[in-house]
């Protein structure tokens, strides 16, 4: 396993982060394919044994049960100081605002709930799940800074934002001497590379670590186009992100297959190796023990420059999708 330091922090993490969105009680959850706790535990245990020390979850995942499963497993299988745990809080809802709740109270409530769910005294990386213009960024950054000063959070990050929003937030934090975002978790993989317009170069210049989600495009980059899975068939959210561009994306998926044959490795290793050369540590989910093998093996695979270019050259611009889509 290879390790890296996340941007302007002292967090030393494995080059792949285990994404835990696939863990949690599926009842009342937007994802019907999530694993129950009994199925989750061996995956987390095996991940630790393979050298993965970086785990990403969120308060919103499976109504908090993802955090609960992850927290209990890590307490049983690892020492707290040996793992890096990231979790997230969503923006306020209109209902929260109608109740007269302040930004500070809202974030603090989310933080306390996540700490309770995880069964931990602090969170290594606390992530603002999605930049929201309705939440004044000065109040968000000030509240997060207090959480760092109180020792409940070590570092802060952001997800689902534009480069200018990240720059604005960190400018405000620097102005007041507050903690700044050290990571950004956006949508980035071989099939969706819009982050290369501005975010990639900005993060390199500011030494902000990129930990993108959907590293395998919800499984599309890990298998032949003729193969399927429960998630490919049932994940309506992922379908909304990828089905409209399937024709042009399939060319890239086929090239991933060609490279897998050339190197004698899995498609997962090819797709993740490409991404690991671009970012600090991609977030990659696993719902089977076998998924972990490809993730870990990818950290040791180095693709030739010409093969990196071959995988990239047929990409065409994509419209923004998912949480970044503008109506």
Per the annotation, the verdict on 155 as an active-site residue is: no
DSSP, collapsed to helix, strand or coil, labels residue 97 as helix
Q: What is the DSSP string of 239-281?
A: HHHHGGGHHHHHHHHHHHHHHHHHHTS-HHHHHHHHHHTTSS-
Q: Taking a C-beta distance cutoff of 8 angstroms, is the pair 166, 137 a contact?
A: no
| DSSP type of residue 58 | -
**Cα gap 295→16, rounded to integer Å:** 7
Give bridge partners of residue 158 from the DSSP assignment.
128, 184
* H runs (alpha helix) in 121-210: 137-149, 163-176, 199-206
C-alpha 295: how far from its chain's center?
Answer: 14
Which of the following is catalytic: 3, 61, 126, 310? 61
Other beta carbons less than 10 A from residue 48's beta carbon:
19
Q: Taking a C-beta distance cutoff of 8 angstroms, is the pair 83, 55 a contact?
A: yes
Closest CA to 190 of 170, 158, 217, 210: 217
Q: Are strands 17-19 and 12-14 parallel, antiparallel or unpaired?
A: unpaired
Kindly report the length of the chain.
Answer: 327
**Cα gap 324→186, rounded to integer Å:** 9
* Phi–psi pair at 124, nearest 5 degrees: -70, -40
272, burial (CB in 10 Å: exposed 0-12, middle 13-18, buried 19+)? buried
Closest CA to 283 of 30, 97, 86, 1: 86
Q: Which residues are catalytic?
A: 61
């Amino acid at each position: 396993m290879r390790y890296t330091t996340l941007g302007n922090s002292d967090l030393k993490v494995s080059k792949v982060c285990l994404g835990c969105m696939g863990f949690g009680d599926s009842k009342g959850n937007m994802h019907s394919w999530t694993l129950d706790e009994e199925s989750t535990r061996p995956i987390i245990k095996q991940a630790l044994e393979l050298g993965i020390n970086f785990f990403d979850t969120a308060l919103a995942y499976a109504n908090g049960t993802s955090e609960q499963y992850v927290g209990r497993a890590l307490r049983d299988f690892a020492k707290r100081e040996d793992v890096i745990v990231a979790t997230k809080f969503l923006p306020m809802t209109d209902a929260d605002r109608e109740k007269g709740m302040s930004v500070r109270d809202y974030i603090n409530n989310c933080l306390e709930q996540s700490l309770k769910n995880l069964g931990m005294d602090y969170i290594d990386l606390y992530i603002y799940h999605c930049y929201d213009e309705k939440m004044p960024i000065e109040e968000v950054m000030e509240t997060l800074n207090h959480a760092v000063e109180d020792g409940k959070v070590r570092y802060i990050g952001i997800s689902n934002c534009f480069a200018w929003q990240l720059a604005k937030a960190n400018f405000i934090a620097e102005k007041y001497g507050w903690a700044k975002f050290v990571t950004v978790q956006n949508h980035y993989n071989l099939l969706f590379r819009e982050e290369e317009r501005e975010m990639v170069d900005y993060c390199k210049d500011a030494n902000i670590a990129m930990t993108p989600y959907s590293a395998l495009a919800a499984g599309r980059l890990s298998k032949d186009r003729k193969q399927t899975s429960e998630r490919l068939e049932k994940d309506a959210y992922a379908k909304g992100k990828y089905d409209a561009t399937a024709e042009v994306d399939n060319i890239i998926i086929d090239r991933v297959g060609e490279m897998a044959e050339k190197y004698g490795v899995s498609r997962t290793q090819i797709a993740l190796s490409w991404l690991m050369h671009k970012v600090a540590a991609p977030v990659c989910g696993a719902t089977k023990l076998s998924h972990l093998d490809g993730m870990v093996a990818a950290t040791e695979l180095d693709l030739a420059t010409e093969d990196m270019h071959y995988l990239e050259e047929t990409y065409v611009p994509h419209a923004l999708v998912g949480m970044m889509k503008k109506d």
